[in-house]
Structures are given as structure tokens and as C-alpha cells.
Amino acid sequence: MTFLTIAFNNLLRNARRTISTLLAFVIGVTMIVFVTGFNSGLNNDWARGIINGIDGHFKLRHKDYENNASTNMEKIYIEDPKQLEAELRKNPHITHVMSRIRFGGLVGQEDKSTSFYGTAVDVKTLNSVLPENDARIVEGESFNENDPMGAILGKRLADNLNVKIGDELVILSNSIYAEQSAIAISIKGLVEIPGAADFEAMFLSTGIEQVQTDLLDMGEGATELIVRIDQTENLESVVAWVNQHFSELGQPWVADPWYTHKMFQQVT
């Protein structure tokens, strides 16, 4: 009790010091609360954007995807996506599944071409898996079931090629058997990707069917499945179930959650 009395009297003895200390404490706590709230809001925005517009809640990929996607697509591609989708739907929390192909190559016209990194999506299931897939469209339109053809380009890529909506481009790439092939596509829409100028200068997306059959020679195959679940809160349990399920089946597929997205990790 004596120590408390001495401490209290010491606070009153130098009121200016006491007030300045309390003020510094209040300002510090206020800043911590503000920064924490700002970061939380930023993370939530990125989470919503990735889940609803880019990668779903998680991607199902070959366990060796990162080491072979650009050099040995034949090893990591999913030959029968419907069979894997049937296995995934054994989990009651999984609501929608979409086949997607990630691929790269050259895109352009006779007088100018550049490298691209893109995706081919199943237009029939796109809106159910990624309901905000068209949020970044700034010119033209997104894919729809009635018009699944055409391509969506990053606006910087279109600017670099000096092309516009409706122009025709040639995509040159290698099939899964390393044989060179090409397809022609018309520009359907342009997107902007804030905070990722380099990626926007390489981004291209098109419907999956023409890429599967005419460009990559993979039948109905895909390089990954994009999966949506009922509630984000169930993600960790679903990912654990998926990994255990396919491990027990002796199959090489693993779940890659949305928060492993490279741009999200950089922002964080």
C-alpha cells in the first residue's frame, strides 16, 4: 500500500510529465488500432478479390506442379478432370469446380509479338466458381456461355501490341508433347490489374475448349481445378480432407489455398 501511495504522489508531483506520458500512450494505442484495422481491411479486400475473381477458395494441382508446369506439362496435367471433380464432391462443403489451364507462349500479329502468361477457363462454370471474374474488365466484355470464344487481355499487353477490341491475334505455344502449335483468337475484353503492371503486360485469358484441342493437344484435360466451398471458415478443414483423401487414394493431387497467391503474399 505504501508503494502505491508513493507512486501516486510521484505522478502528481510532475503533472506535465504524467500528462505527456499518458498522451503518448493514448496516441500509440490509437495508431496500433488504426494500422491493425487498415491491414485487416486490406487483407479482406484481397481475400475477396482472389476468392471471387481469380483462384476460388483453393486450386487442386499435381504435387509437383511448381517444378514442372513450365517444363513438363505432360507430367502434371489432369487427364480426367470429371473424375477428380467426382472425388472432390464427396466433401459436402465443396459447391463448385472449374477446369483451368495455365499456359504461356507468344501472342501477336505478323509485325509484332510478345510473350504472354495466361489461362484457359471453362466458360460454362466460370461464373459459379468465380462470380466476380469480370470485376477488372475496363473495355469490352467478359466470357459468357453464349459466346465462349475470344480472349481477354491485360490492357498493358494490348497497348504493347497496339491492338483493340475485335482485333485478331495468333497464339503460339507448345503442346503437352512439346510440339509447336498455334491458334487464332479475337480480342473480347481488356482488364486492368492494379499493383501488378508487369503481370498485366503479359496476361491473356481465353476459353478452354480451343486451347485443349487445337493448341495443347490434351483432350479434355486441365492443369488445375478451381474449387469453391460453402463458407471460407471451412477452408482449412476442407483442404486437410482433400489432401488426406487423395493421399489415401495414392494419387498426386494436393489443395493449394487462396492465400498462397503470390500477389497476396507480396502485399502482405
Q: Which of 168, 169, 164, 211 is nearest to 189 (CA)?
A: 164
CA distance 211 to 149: 11
Report yes or no: 234 and 93 within 8 Å, Cβ to Cβ.
yes
Q: Determine the Cα–Cα distance for residues 61 and 237; give it in Å rounded to an integer.
A: 18
Q: Give pLDDT, residue 195.
A: 76
Cell numbers for 152: 481477354
The mean pLDDT of the chain is 86
Q: How far apart are CA 167 and CA 153, in angstroms?
A: 11
pLDDT above 70: residue 265: no
Residues 6+ apart with CB under 8 A from 125: 96, 97, 98, 99
pLDDT of 244 > 80? The answer is yes
Tell me, what's the pLDDT at 49? Answer: 79
pLDDT of 267 > 70? The answer is no
User: Which pTM does this prediction carry?
Assistant: 0.82
* Burial class of 180 by CB neighbour count within 10 A (0 to 12, 13 to 18, 19+): exposed
Residue 194 has pLDDT above 70, yes or no: yes
Q: What is the pLDDT of residue 68?
A: 85
Q: Mean pLDDT check: name the lowest of 74-88, 95-109, 134-148, 199-213.
A: 134-148
Q: Which residue has the cell 485443349?
A: 212
Q: Are 166 and 202 in contact (CB under 8 A)?
A: no
Q: For the residues 214-239, what does the mean pLDDT come to?
A: 95
Give the torsion sign (CA, 255, 257, 260, 261): positive
- Tell me how crowded residue 111 is: count the other CB atoms within 10 A of its CB: 7
Average confidence (pLDDT) over 192-199 = 85
CA Rg, the chain, in Å? Answer: 25
According to DSSP, residue 214 is labeled I
Taking residues 172-186, what's their average pLDDT? 90
Taking CA atoms, 33 is separated from 26, 39, 42, 47, 198, in Å, by 11, 10, 14, 21, 34
20-34, 41-55, 190-204: segment of lowest average pLDDT: 20-34
**Is 230 or 178 the better-scoring residue by pLDDT?**
230
Give pLDDT, residue 231. Answer: 94
149, pLDDT greater than 90: no
